[in-house]
């Protein structure tokens, strides 16, 4: 019995010894290096494009309102009518203006007669005064003053008459430029005016549709890549299989405070009238770099809620380097960092699991 106990104890001691040796051997084993694909960091001029919504508008567009309170007497055009600059569009009627112009004309004729009489009197007194002692200097001065006063009154009457004539001309509304009547909001007999119910809507809206204005708001980060004269292309929903081209003509040079974007406009020739003002377009803007920048695969960039970084490999050890992201093009992305140099080795498929100091086998 004692011999069996001693034998069992010896066996347990031998097993414990073997187990402890195995544990020490595992602790001493070196950590295996991960085999990870890397890429060489390089610079290039990245070319990319962005797609932005835009709107087509008439190159020139104006809403026409009545200058004076009146009623619609004649409508010469209707919606869709093509008009020429200076063409009569509508005739308005205001009886009180006719009365005003008649009164102004009467005052003008009366004042002309008064001035003619005072001027004749002055001329006779002036001629008579040339004979010494016939006319006193005071009488001559009074004749000059009367003539000057009547002349001033005549000029005032002429101005009043011209003013009423100008107001009367407002009763005929003409086209300010060549275009198309895109809206009509009145009928015969309707009351129109500069204020009140008759001014709620414009009488007509005229648009120049042979040339359109394409406007787009470009986000702040892309404004530095655009300049006047750059080519752009765009499509519209009603003609999905067609692409149109234009050039940048105007840039606002300032950012909209709400959208933080710059207004950019293009002129679009529309002689065929396939495009209509008000259409929504999708603009494709080419963004070409002026200088070379670091360009890496998108998979090499790790983005977290706190920062964006890449993982460099130096002496077979991983090290994260913070970066700022730029534009994207296909599978590539621009990055910016003062801590990176050309030909640095970057982990191609980076992740947060690769910690600083992790051994890496390339």
Q: Dump pLDDT digits (tens) for 150-197.
A: 999 999 999 999 999 999 999 999 999 999 999 999 999 999 988 878
- The mean pLDDT of 210-232, rounded to a whole number, is 90
Check residue 250 and give its pLDDT. Answer: 93
Please provide residue 110's backbone torsions phi and psi, each rounded to the nearest 5 degrees: -65, -45
Q: At a CB cut-off of 8 Å and minimum separation 6, what does 40 contact?
A: 343, 344, 345, 346
The answer for 80, left when phi > 0, alpha when psi is -120 to 50, beta otherwise, is left
Q: How many residues does the chain have?
A: 362
What is d(CA 38, CA 347) in angstroms, rounded to the nearest whole number? 4
The pLDDT confidence band at residue 362, using thresholds 50, 70 and 90, is low
Least confident stretch, 21-35, 142-156, 232-246: 21-35
* Residue 32 pLDDT exceeds 80: no
The pLDDT confidence band at residue 8, using thresholds 50, 70 and 90, is very low
What is d(CA 310, CA 138) in angstroms, rounded to the nearest whole number? 103
Q: Whole-structure pTM over 0.75, yes or no? A: no
Check residue 34 and give its pLDDT. Answer: 53
The pLDDT confidence band at residue 14, using thresholds 50, 70 and 90, is very low
Cβ pair 201, 109 in contact under 8 A? no
* Residue 333 pLDDT exceeds 60: yes
Check residue 48 and give its pLDDT. Answer: 80
Please provide residue 140's backbone torsions phi and psi, each rounded to the nearest 5 degrees: -65, -40
pLDDT digits (tens, 9 = 90+) for 300-320: 999 988 899 999 998 888 899
Check residue 75 and give its pLDDT. Answer: 94
Q: Give the chain's mean pLDDT.
A: 86
Check residue 163 and give its pLDDT. Answer: 92
What is d(CA 134, CA 118) in angstroms, rounded to the nearest whole number? 19
Q: Which domains does the chain have, with CATH numbers?
A: 51-57+209-288 (2.40.30.170), 62-91+171-204 (2.40.50.100), 95-170 (1.10.287), 292-359 (2.40.420.20)
Q: Which residues make beta-bridge pairs with 309?
A: 302, 322
Query: In this structure, what token pair is assigned to residue 101?
Result: 């112009």
Check residue 26 and give its pLDDT. Answer: 45
The pLDDT confidence band at residue 28, using thresholds 50, 70 and 90, is very low
pLDDT digits (tens, 9 = 90+) for 86-141: 999 999 999 888 889 999 999 999 999 999 999 999 898 888 888 877 888 888 88
* Residue 68 pLDDT exceeds 80: yes
The pLDDT confidence band at residue 21, using thresholds 50, 70 and 90, is very low
Q: Which residues make beta-bridge pairs with 184?
A: 204
Choice between 233 and 49, residue whose per-residue pLDDT is larger? 233
Choice between 345 and 12, residue whose per-residue pLDDT is larger? 345
The pLDDT confidence band at residue 1, using thresholds 50, 70 and 90, is very low
- The mean pLDDT of 225-232, rounded to a whole number, is 88
HSE-up of residue 15 (Cα within 13 Å, Cβ side): 6
Check residue 6 and give its pLDDT. Answer: 37
Query: In this structure, what token pair is assigned to residue 301?
Result: 């960039």
């Amino acid at each position: 019995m004692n011999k069996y106990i001693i034998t069992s104890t010896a066996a347990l001691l031998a097993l414990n010894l073997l187990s402890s040796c195995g544990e020490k051997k595992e602790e001493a084993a070196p950590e295996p290096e991960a085999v990870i694909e890397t890429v060489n960091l390089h610079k290039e001029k990245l070319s990319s494009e962005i797609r932005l919504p835009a709107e087509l508008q008439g190159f020139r567009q104006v809403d026409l309102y009545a200058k004076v309170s009146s009623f619609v007497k004649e409508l010469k055009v209707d919606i869709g009518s093509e008009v020429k600059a200076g063409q009569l569009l509508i005739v308005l009627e205001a009886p009180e203006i006719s009365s005003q112009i008649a009164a102004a004309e009467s005052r003008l004729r009366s004042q002309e007669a008064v001035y003619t009489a005072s001027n004749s009197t002055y001329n006779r007194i002036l001629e008579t005064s040339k004979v010494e002692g016939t006319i006193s200097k005071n009488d001559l001065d009074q004749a000059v003053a009367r003539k000057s006063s009547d002349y001033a009154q005549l000029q005032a009457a002429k101005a009043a008459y011209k003013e009423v004539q100008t107001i009367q001309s407002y009763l005929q509304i003409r086209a300010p430029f060549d275009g198309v009547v895109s809206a009509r909001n009145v009928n015969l007999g309707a009351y129109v005016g500069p204020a009140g119910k008759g001014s709620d809507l414009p009488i007509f809206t005229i648009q120049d549709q042979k040339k359109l204005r394409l406007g787009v708001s470009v986000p702040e980060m892309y404004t530095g890549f655009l300049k006047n004269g750059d080519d752009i292309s765009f499509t519209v929903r009603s003609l999905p299989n067609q692409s149109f081209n234009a050039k940048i003509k105007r840039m606002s040079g300032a950012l909209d405070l709400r959208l933080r974007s710059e207004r950019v406009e293009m002129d679009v020739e529309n002689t065929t009238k396939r495009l209509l003002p008000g259409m929504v377009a999708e603009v494709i803007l080419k963004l070409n770099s002026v200088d070379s920048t670091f360009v890496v695969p998108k998979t090499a960039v790790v983005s977290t809620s706190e920062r964006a970084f890449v993982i460099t490999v130096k002496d077979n050890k991983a090290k994260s380097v913070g970066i700022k992201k730029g534009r994207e093009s296909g599978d590539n992305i621009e990055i910016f960092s003062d801590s990176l140099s050309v030909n640095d080795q970057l982990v191609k498929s980076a992740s947060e699991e690769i910690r600083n100091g992790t051994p890496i086998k390339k």
